[in-house]
Amino acid sequence: MTVLAADLSPGYFITGTDTEVGKTFATCALLRRLAVAGRRVAAMKPVAAGLDEHGRNEDVEALLAAANVRCARERVNPYAFASPIAPHLAAREEGREIRFAPILRAFAALAGEADGVLVEGVGGFRVPLGSDGDAADLAVALGLPVILVVGLRLGCINHALLTVEAVRARGLRLAGWIGNCATADMARREENVATLRELIAAPLLGVLPHLTPADPAAAAAFLDLPS
């Protein structure tokens, strides 16, 4: 495996081709990989929708467990909503509004505690958030290079290329992409990955296998670090 130098300052924005493509799993694997490389890295999920009976979000808990810098939950996840629905709808349901200022303050605090911060978006790249903008606008406000998680399943090439266009249209740098085997039996997976490598002008950081149960520490071995 080729180990590339990773300049984490201040971090990366992790987005996906859609919801349920393994964005949290890939982010956790990258957190573990960076830790092995000696980086002190924090995680952030600015907006999460869907809480359990204890008021916790599964993705946020996974990020907290994978990061090697322990940070306050309210900084890691400034906005948490009970219903597992689109975040702008979940916020409206609770009479709240998602604003960027608290997220940017939380990010600045996290960045001061670590070598860098991996910020996991919500859903895909253009998910509405509120009056300040959508997830793409948040990535711009944070000023972070983007890592794209591609869920390897039927339709992924179209979704990936559209997302790449949207990232670049915002003037953001695509630092790389990660393929995640969202299903165990995708037809022509290797050919799909080869096509994506040809068409995406950014490095492939790795292809994560379909693991049952999901194990970010094991998946980390399949990743290179962004340069």
Active-site annotation holder among 32, 45, 153, 189:
45
Do 84 and 56 contact (CB within 8 A), yes or no?
no
| Residues 216 and 66: beta-carbon distance below 8 Å | yes
CA distances from 107 to 79, 112, 140, 208, 223 (A): 13, 9, 13, 27, 25
Alpha helix ranges (H) inside the chain:
23-36, 58-66, 73-76, 87-93, 100-111, 135-142, 156-169, 189-199, 216-219
23 catalytic, yes or no? no
Contact present, 90 and 130 (Cβ < 8 Å): no
For the annotated catalytic residues, the residue numbers are 45
